[in-house]
Structure 1
Amino acid sequence: MPITRRAALAAAIAAPAIAHAQAPWPSGSIRIMVPFPPGGSVDTIARLLLPGLQQRLGVPVVVENRSGASGAVGTAVVARDRPDGNSWVLVFDTHAVNGALQPQLGYDGRRDFTPVMLVATSPMLLCTPNAKPWRTLAEVIAAARAQPDTITYGTVGNGSLSHLTMTLLSREAGISMVHVPYRGGGPMSTAAAAGEIDLVIASRVGLGGQVGNTIRPLAQSGHRRSSALPDLPTIAEQGFPHVAAEAFWGMLGPARIPDAILARFHAALAESLTDPTLRQRLIEGQGVDIVGSTPEAFGRFLDEQMATWLRVVRENNIRAE
């Protein structure tokens, strides 16, 4: 009898946990954290994904913007959330370098997250406001050599991939320019359109439709020319073969997301990315290349990116501001 009572008690204690684990998902609204201000590339892509996710998951999907520390503030919130499938984060390329720049980050960029999908990549565009005189990258380099520390360039933050790319370019070209970090793509693109900075570097989506209107592109940062801008040369083509990088956007969840939830959320994302209207808005409207990777492939991609950019941070003694 004592053994029977203990077994019954153990079963009673375990029952709520079993019921919770077997509860249907999703059963309520889902949050996509955007760790940057409204108007930037992460915010834009997240909001383009919402309708498809809502349709396929059958529950409200909401975006929450929580910016700061190159995306680390909002990302840290999701790292601490329960792995119940109700909280996810769309990260930008800064996720690959934040750990190297911020010792007090409060989370591990790989260990504390479940990779879901590398959603898209894009070359960054080095642009200048229309009022500025330069028409080519060579003219910018010549001006920077003639007057060191006078030309300014804007990025989405210290240690961002755009900042590291410009650091590599400056080192290879033997020039010194003034870095102006912004809290996100929205404020940065607004400043560029107003001519408050000399140069700006970001993906086309991050520049908020300004390319070809208020700012003109001088170079793209990819390893090869983007099909969206086949006439725009890469930085590498213009004499700097070791300067190549692409922005990326990827979905993560907290660590230890149950396999069934991960599989369904990934499927909803993948199916959404097959929608012709969404694809047109992302590829033609925003200038990104859709990837739609598996969770495993995204995990490997993050490992490679973190190793690459950690080396750049250390070799160039870059510090968080």
Structure 2
Amino acid sequence: MIVISRRGLLAAGSAAALAVPAAPGLVRAQTATGTVRIVVPFPPGGSADALARLAQPLLERGLGQTVIIENRPGAGGSVGANAVAKAAPDGLTWLFVFDTHAVNPSLLPSMPFDSQKDLDPVMLIGTAPMVVATHPQQPFRSLADIIQSGKDRAGGVPYGTIGNGSLGHLAMTLLAKRAGTNFAHIPYRGGGPLINDAIGGHVPIAIGSVALLATHLQAGTLRPLAQTGAQRATALANVPTVAESGFPGFEADAWWGVFAPAGTPAPVVQRFHAALTAAFRDPAAEKQLTETQQVKLMTTGPAEFRAFFESQMRIWGEVVRDNQIKPS
């Protein structure tokens, strides 16, 4: 059973970290001048990339600095994360990640950095359910259909995710075990390539965050079969959850967060956190995230995000080890 509870994890922490704003002069003294670089450790077109590009112009306005997005994909996001872990803690380099970041320490034991020691949490941007979807020309009309097909089909039903060891991969692995069926995993190098093959009908099933798939679900180029949240997302009110489809307690939400190189001064983190909060709470941006992409905005502080991140590492690390999941 997948149970991911945030109550309690998100109930305390950020007020103390953010209650006393640093003096403007101190923040300027501790923040290097120049271009701000946001590293997205995945290819363009994925959900983390979309969030970074949504925030970019609003951050430029709030910070008064040029902000660029740098896509550095590879090894499930660890290549780009390593670049940030090795960067100077001067407030000019930041990392936008999603849920795979909590899986990588268990999946990739030889990573050249320590996720907890070499990167400082800044913000949990938000969470969203994942969606199991198919091309409209595929015969599947429900989760039960693909489960039965997996039992009947030699080798199982192929399904695509954003990568090996991704949350979608882990969720489908557990679903297959609970359902007594077979799924054949096809890992892609990020959300963009997965979407291209899904809407092209080259992979029968895709699982990704509702934020990643929303546009294509609304356009009818993909058909939703089930969602993985505890409750139905507003925009997918007619799509049952996996729990409603015969698997009580099944829950797995995607999430997005921001990290900084370890040792980035607290006033610098506070300044960037404030600019991020203003960006994501901008009325137009918030509407796009919450209504179009069905993201539950959190914009939590560093202490809350650290507690949440460490819990995700424990939960999904156990799934990786129990199922002997290896990197591709």
Residue pairs, 1:1-321, within 5 angstroms: 23=29, 25=31, 27-207=33-213, 209-212=215-218, 213-321=220-328
Unpaired segments ≥5 residues, structure 2 = 1-25
Taking the aligned partners of 1:273 and 1:125, their CA distance within structure 2 comes to: 23
Taking the aligned partners of 1:34 and 1:241, their CA distance within structure 2 comes to: 35
Contact 1:154 1:181 in 2 (8 A): yes
Deviation at 1:236, TM superposition (A): 1.0
Deviation at 1:185, TM superposition (A): 0.3
Taking the aligned partners of 2:28 and 2:123, their CA distance within structure 1 comes to: 25
> What per-residue deviation string (whole Å, max 9, x for no partner) do you get for residues 63-89 of structure 1?
000101111111110000010000000
> What per-residue deviation string (whole Å, max 9, x for no partner) do you get for residues 146-194 of structure 1?
1142411000101000100000100000111110000010000000001
State the one-letter code of the partner of 1:205. Answer: A
The higher radius of gyration belongs to 1
State the one-letter code of the partner of 2:145. Answer: E
Contact 1:114 1:253 in 2 (8 A): yes
Contact 1:90 1:249 in 2 (8 A): yes
The verdict on how the C-alpha distance between 1:250 and 1:21 changes in structure 2, with shifts beyond 3 A counting, is closer
Deviation at 1:227, TM superposition (A): 2.2
Contact 1:124 1:245 in 2 (8 A): yes
Deviation at 1:23, TM superposition (A): 2.5
Alignment TM-score, normalising by the size of structure 2: 0.89
Q: Secondary structure at 2:216's aligned position in 1?
A: coil
Bigger RCO of structures 1 and 2 (CA < 8 A, at least 6 apart):
2
Contact 1:220 1:235 in 2 (8 A): yes
Q: Secondary structure at 2:255's aligned position in 1?
A: strand
State the one-letter code of the partner of 1:143. Answer: S
State the one-letter code of the partner of 1:133. Answer: P
Deviation at 1:267, TM superposition (A): 0.8
Taking the aligned partners of 2:245 and 2:210, their CA distance within structure 1 comes to: 20
Q: Secondary structure at 2:226's aligned position in 1?
A: strand
Unpaired segments ≥5 residues, structure 1 = 1-19
Deviation at 1:228, TM superposition (A): 2.6
State the one-letter code of the partner of 1:140. Answer: I
Deviation at 1:21, TM superposition (A): 9.2
Taking the aligned partners of 2:38 and 2:172, their CA distance within structure 1 comes to: 30
Taking the aligned partners of 2:157 and 2:46, their CA distance within structure 1 comes to: 24
State the one-letter code of the partner of 1:316. Answer: N
Sequence identity percentage:
45
Q: Give the total of aligned pairs.
A: 303
Taking the aligned partners of 1:155 and 1:133, their CA distance within structure 2 comes to: 20
Instruction: Note the aligned Cα RMSD (angstroms).
Output: 1.6
Contact 1:31 1:62 in 2 (8 A): yes
Deviation at 1:317, TM superposition (A): 1.1
Q: Secondary structure at 1:124's aligned position in 2?
A: strand
Which runs of at least 4 in structure 1 moved beyond 4 Å after TM superposition? none
Contact 1:118 1:291 in 2 (8 A): yes
Taking the aligned partners of 2:68 and 2:211, their CA distance within structure 1 comes to: 20
State the one-letter code of the partner of 1:228. Answer: A
Contact 1:117 1:292 in 2 (8 A): yes
Aligned to 2:6: none
Q: Secondary structure at 1:320's aligned position in 2?
A: coil
Contact 2:214 2:292 in 1 (8 A): no
Deviation at 1:144, TM superposition (A): 1.1
The verdict on how the C-alpha distance between 1:61 and 1:151 changes in structure 2, with shifts beyond 3 A counting, is same
State the one-letter code of the partner of 1:233. Answer: P
Alignment TM-score, normalising by the size of structure 1: 0.91
Deviation at 1:208, TM superposition (A): 6.5
Q: Secondary structure at 2:121's aligned position in 1?
A: strand
